[in-house]
């Protein structure tokens, strides 16, 4: 997830993510990050101006990584339906493979702690923007009902978020069958219905 950073930055970002998930943002201090990461405070300040700077970089790194991961799925499909299925499978896969990254994004995406310019900067680099375009194309081709594509994407994402949370908290297990059923249900929910 942090492969594009040097070893010191990786250690700081990984440690900060772990601490935030375990103890919350308010309990995450620079001293604790230094202690847990094994990186001196002075070395941390060489790369990051503040805890806020670390958290914003963490957000940027996770959203960018997620974006690359989901875009790969979208590229593999040939039809809109295949891209839709592969894209959402990759979104769900991210939550299963990288639960701390998933939890962080869910908890802090709308936090005032994340600067607005960072949110805007990573939006197009994430997976939401290409997914929005896919939905817009599906609407143009009359595969989906006419509706705001961005809202439709978020509506479906909300369903998958709660499924992932259910697995994270041990309420149920997301199997390939249940994932496929959920993705199919989302497609069917926005497909035009024949008039009765």
Q: What does each of the 196 residues of the chain score in pLDDT, given as a tens digit? A: 899 999 999 999 999 999 999 998 988 999 999 999 999 999 999 999 999 999 999 999 999 999 999 999 999 999 999 999 999 999 999 999 999 999 999 999 888 999 998 888 777 778 999 999 999 999 999 999 999 999 999 999 999 999 999 999 999 999 999 999 999 999 999 999 864 3
This prediction's pTM: 0.90
- Rounded to whole angstroms, what are the CA distances from 43 to 7, 8, 17, 34, 142? 12, 8, 18, 9, 55
Which residues make Cβ contacts (< 8 Å) with residue 149, sequence separation at least 6? 132, 133, 135, 136, 139
Strand, helix or coil at 80?
helix
Digit-coded pLDDT (tens) for 131-162 = 999 999 999 999 999 999 999 999 999 999 99
Distance CA 62, CA 47 (A): 18
């Amino acid at each position: 997830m942090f492969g594009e950073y040097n070893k010191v930055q990786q250690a700081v970002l990984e440690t900060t993510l772990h601490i935030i998930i375990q103890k919350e943002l308010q309990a995450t201090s620079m001293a604790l990050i230094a202690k847990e990461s094994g990186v001196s405070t002075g070395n941390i300040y060489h790369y990051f101006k503040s805890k806020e700077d670390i958290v914003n970089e963490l957000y940027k790194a996770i959203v960018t990584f997620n974006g690359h991961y989901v875009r790969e799925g979208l590229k593999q499909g040939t039809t809109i339906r295949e891209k839709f299925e592969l894209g959402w499978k990759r979104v769900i896969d991210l939550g299963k493979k990288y639960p701390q990254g998933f939890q962080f994004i869910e908890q802090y995406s709308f936090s005032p702690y994340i600067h607005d310019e960072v949110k805007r900067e990573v939006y197009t680099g994430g997976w939401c923007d290409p997914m929005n375009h896919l939905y817009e194309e599906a609407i143009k081709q009359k595969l989906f009902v006419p509706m705001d594509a961005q809202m439709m994407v978020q509506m479906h994402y909300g369903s998958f978020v709660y499924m992932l949370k259910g697995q994270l908290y041990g309420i149920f297990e997301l199997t390939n069958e249940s994932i496929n059923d959920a993705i199919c249900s989302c497609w069917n929910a926005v497909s035009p219905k024949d008039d009765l």
